Structure 1
Amino acid sequence: MVSPDGVSAGVCSGGEAFALLDALWETAPVGLVYFDTELRHRRLNGAVLDIDGGTAEERLGRTLEEVHGESGRLIADGLREVIATGRPRHDVALQGRLWHGRGELQEWSFNQFPVRDANGEIIGAGLVVSDVTEAERTRRQLADAAAQRQHALNRYQSLVEATSAAVWIREPDGTASQDSPSLRAITGQSVDQYRGWGFLDAVHPDDTAPTRAAWLAAVTGGAPFTHTNRLRTADGGYRWFRARAVPVRTEGRIVEWVGTETDIDDEVRSRHRLDVLAGATLAVNAALDPEAELTALADAVVPAFADLCRVYLIDPVAPGAGVVTGQRSVTRVAAGVRPAPPIDERFAFAAGHPVSRSVHSAAPVLDPAPVDDRGGWPGTPQMWAWGRQAELNSTLVAPVLSSGRVIAALMFLACGDRSPYTDDDLALVTELAARASTAVEHALRFEQTRQVSLALQNSMLTEPPPPAAIGIGGLEVEVRYLPATADLEVGGDWYDAFGLPGGDLALAVGDVAGHDLSAAATMGQLRSMLRALAFDSEGDPSYVLRRLDRAASRLGVTRFTTLLYGRVLCAGGRRLFRWSNAGHPPPLIVDPDGTPRIVAGHVDVVLGADPARPRRDQEIELAPGSTLLLYTDGLVERRRDSDDDATAALLRLARDAAGLPLAAFCDHLVRETTADTGDDIAVLALRARR
């Protein structure tokens, strides 16, 4: 349908609305005619016959010129303009005689408008005709008749624009005095319950206040009204509806509102399911521990999708066993829902329980039965009592698989006025379970890789030599290693301290780029090669690093690797530390008075970048009572540190712990670090006793 203004109207979804339009067409006090694009009569109402005489058969299928001659041509000229321009013509006055001049002299007022199909294409023209002959004789009668005709026309236009699933008419103040059988058929209200402000009683309690506020704002401002809320249906459930209304004006004054209610429940729930799936997927992927992932999923779906979500960790199921056993892992209950009763962590469900059915079939299960219809549900008495009190109306269970075995089951419960779960919701939990299974598989593989990497790395991080085994007296060595946090894999940070054939003490701290098993393996190879080259050579640290760089590069061992290697030696009665730095953080010295400082010096290129580049040595005295600290960047790195505050923070930590025993000194640095990247931390500290 198309309004007289040429505005496409909503298509009525019910026969009652069509009947209402037909009734308005036939009973309107103005003449209504519809023409095709050739301006042949296609439909007219009885008012046309009352105004102009003749019969419908004399008009249908014929043009205006064929029926009315010159007067018809004048009317047709205006309609052709409307079809050509797509713009309506209002209040067109015409005087003449119909039926080829044989009729009485009359005066008419026309409203001409284009008629469009659902795609906006013009398929004809409409004509609203009023006989104003008598009105010209009696001005007072003309005013009353014109007001009635205009009111009827405006109501017709507004109704055509707004017609949808259910149509209603409200008073200028927003109350309902006229009945709306189509809306009451949805809500199940009686006429008395509906009238006044009673129509708001069918709105969901959570939506009543915002719906009333939005409606009153539209009534006060006189603007078209659009609002979405849930309505209680005749069966006691709730569905989403979109309300739309337009004001009907006469002489600029709102005389009533014409509105519709359209059922959009399927659309809203479909969009809601996508939001739940996206939120749950994001939450699951943010965790790497399998139980943490399932916990995150439960948090994401309550209350958005379920009133209660419970995660069951499933024991291996013996072939042919009906009972499913395991441990309850997570329970989440929506606010306002009666808390679930405390029950044993262990569970045993018989074969008919939805969890058992889902586990045995390795597929999601929808149980739409209310709680009082137990059927195969033998659950605990406590949960049955809770289900009755919480008005449990349906249950969904989805399995989580790993390596083809169900390792967990996710149970979702809908209670109270939440709509019972449907097959569409079953499709959602199927996708949720699939994504959870993928995430769990990834997490298990990650954890296995992490454990292998950690075991490999720990196997290569040997204990430092005790003071008695160090060839230089008065030295104490402590080391610490803290693997990366759970969101990173174990990487390639390492330390080493070992005696050299000539009695010197070798110290090394390195960092292989990457956080994976490959980085840990590369670290192990470089550590072994460094030990071998250091033992085989009496050369300076720079010489050892040059040989290590060449050998590792030629063998294809090295990745981007930073390394600080040095040796503690005695010369002229003094203890010295001589080192070479391949792109690593510089050493930190705590002087005997407790003042810490970063030792400035040469920093050469990392290993693997350019094996032919020369390397340099540097040296510092280790005064009695001083402490030397070597470390990887995991101890100091911060995501945002434009002012080098991380280095200053490390110096403050070293100053605060300077007087502690060396073991406590190392513990303090690792425990209190301000680093926030979650990277590996390797620390090697040497103290020269007084």
Structure 2
Amino acid sequence: MSAETSVPRPRESDVDISDSVLFQGMLSEAEFAFAFFDGEGRIKRVNDVFSDVVNVPAERMIGSLPAEVLAADLSQIIAHAVQAVAESDAPVTESRVRVRSAEGDTRHWSLSFSPVHNEAGELGAVALIGQDITEGRQTEEALRRSEERYRSLVEAQSQLVWITSPTGAVVEDAPQWRAITGQGLEEYLASGWLEVVHPEERQQTEEAWKEALRGRTMFEWNYRVRTRASGFRHFEVRAVPIIRHGRVVEWVGANTDVTPQREAEEMRGRLTDQLGAAALRTARLQGATAQLAEALTVEQVVQVIIDVGRTALAADRSAVALLDPDRAALKLINGEGILEASGVTGDEIPLSHSNVMTMAVNSRRPVFAESPESLKAQLLEAGDDEEVLANFLTHGDERAWVGLPLLAAGRALGALRFSFTRPQKISQEDGVFLEALAGQCALAVERATLFEREHRTAETLQRSLLPDRLPVVKGLVLAQRFRSGSRHVQVGGVTGTTRSCCRTGVSRRSSATSWARASRPPRAWAASATPCGRWR
């Protein structure tokens, strides 16, 4: 007996891996498109997938050139790729090839051409492997469209998108931001967006940004940004952290230009303030008009003007002067103590001397001096003495002046003067209010002047009708008292009463005589007698 001592050989498969049937099976079961071309570019073998893609039977393609059996655009791509592989002996890839299917829709393929060498290492064939990338291409196209839509939406909303690292450092370019701010790429990557924030708002913005970084919370802020044109525009920013697996991987922010909205809000605010100021000025003018309507005498009118100057204008001093045409001068009515650069003292100011009141009367126009420099320029132009003017501006405490002419039917009655111990900005609306106030004051002064003139005439007439002295009656002691019929009109009548005395035998009689007539209740002159004894 002999023992078998040889090493056991592994069991060999019944399948011959070099068998063409096995190769054909691999081609037919693969999900990829396969094709083989010889050195001349003729089709040697294809699988069913390739045949279905080009919609040509395999039997028809074998031994043919691609241009003979395939569509022109596809055959041209294959012919050029096969030739390139044969010349370079290196793979060639055509990543995006469109092929129309039998159903009429377009499919996208990626074709790879590789050299196949024989045992001698020579190029024996060129292999084509094709992969259908239609779904991936559609996904890519959808993503591209989504990005385009997002970009269009951002541009339509004037948004500037930027990205920072988890620590807030700028790591990616933001072309839109740099186009607005004028920053270069190196400057933007080095300094970031905070560099162009307005200096007055930069510190608070930086602190708020750091707080959002620490808390990983949404960053919402607004600030002014310096633009390429060296101006500033208002932006609102919103930045959110992108968190993955509990960690911030980056920050994405969007800046929205809200300058038009801010300007509109500021305009609405200014209009609201102007309307409020106009309403206040109207109410003050109505109040002043009502007070002036109740003032009957010039003294009362002047007091109303002073009160209005203090309350409505916040003036520190007010002065009223009436014109004396015969003397060509203004006569001060109130005694607040007018300070002026004319060098004139007393209550009378000649029109030849320059000050805000005389200039207002001579020009028939308001005079506004918002500062000492403005007053100096106007007075020097009017011919005032520079030394007197310098002394006035140095020692006086007034810093702004208003002179208003009192005009009635174009005729000058006098002038108003309001002064302030601080510079006062006189707007156009304030000028209109002051002119309207001066018009109402002129009417009140004219009315009061006419009233006083008529009153003096009536009083003179009445007193001329009254006896200079009481008659002397034996046995009686007579006394007199004058009482007016109303508080303002010193006009009335006279009444007299006598009674008989028991000792003198004077008969009792009474009489009443009206000496004057008036629309208001008459004033009366009354006489009374004290009897020497008992009345009967």
| TM-score interval, normalised by the smaller of the two chains | 0.3 to 0.5
Q: TM-score w.r.t. structure 2 length?
A: 0.42
Return the TM-score normalized by structure 1. Answer: 0.33
Larger Rg: 2
